[in-house]
Chains A and B, each alone.
Chain A
C-alpha cells in the first residue's frame, strides 16, 4: 500500500496561474479532504468528499475547486493563484472519519510569487 500520494512535492507559481495538486489513495477510503497548513493557523479544511461524485466546501474554499470522479483520486485546482495561497497543502483520506481518523499525504509546498 502506498497510502496517500500527493504530487508535486514543491511548486512555484506566478500570480494568476492555475494548477492542479494531485492526490491519490489506494486504501479504498470513501472520505477524502484537503487542508492547508499555515504558521500559527494550524490546519484548515478547504474541501472534502464523502464519496465519488460528492464534494462539499470546508472552512476556506475560496479560490479552490475539487472534483471526485473516482474513489481513488481527489485533485485540488487553484483557479487563479494568489500570494495568499502560499501554503503547505495536505490531502487526507479515511475509512471512518469518526473513529479511525485520517491518513495524510506528505504534502505539497506551494509558493505563489
Chain B
C-alpha cells in the first residue's frame, strides 16, 4: 500500500533553533519524494524534490531508503518558516504517477 506518514501534527520551535520535520513512507516501487509548503491561506508550493538534491530557503531533505524516510531539516529556523508542510510521493507503481500526501505538519516558529 502507498502511504506517507507525518507523525507530528504540530511542531513548535524558537527562532534560531534547528528544525526537523519527519516523513516516512511505504511504496511498492521506487518513489520520488517531495516536500510542499503552504503559507497561511495560500496555495501549495513545491519546496524540495528528492531528485534535484537542492537546498531551498535553507531546507534540505535526504532520502533514506533503508529507513524509508525523507525528513526535512533546517539548521536555524526563521519566523517566516511558519507554515504547513506536506510530504508527498509519486511514482510509476501503485500511485500511477499521482501525488500521495501525508497529513501535514504545522510548523510554528516563535520569536
Residues on A lying within 8 angstroms of B by beta carbon are 31, 33, 35, 40-45, 48, 50, 56, 58, 90, 92, 97-107
Contacts and interface: CB of A to CB of B under 8 A. Distances in A.
Contacts of B49: 99-101
Contacts of B34: 101
Q: Which 9 residue pairs are nearest across A and B when measured between Cβ atoms?
A: A42-B103, A97-B97, A43-B101, A104-B44, A42-B101, A106-B43, A104-B43, A101-B46, A101-B34
B99 A45 contact: yes
Given A42-B86, A48-B98, A50-B97, 20 more contacts: A31-B97, A40-B9, A43-B86, A43-B101, A45-B100, A56-B96, A90-B44, A92-B44, A92-B99, A97-B99, A98-B32, A98-B92, A98-B97, A101-B46, A101-B90, A102-B46, A102-B99, A103-B46, A105-B43, A106-B42
Contacts of A43: 44, 86, 99, 101
Interface of B: 9, 32, 34, 36, 42-46, 49, 51, 86, 88, 90-92, 96-104
Nearest to A105: B43
B101 A104 contact: no
Given A42-B102, A101-B34, A107 B97 contact: no
Contacts of A45: 98-100
A99 B90 CA distance: 8
A48 B100 CA distance: 13
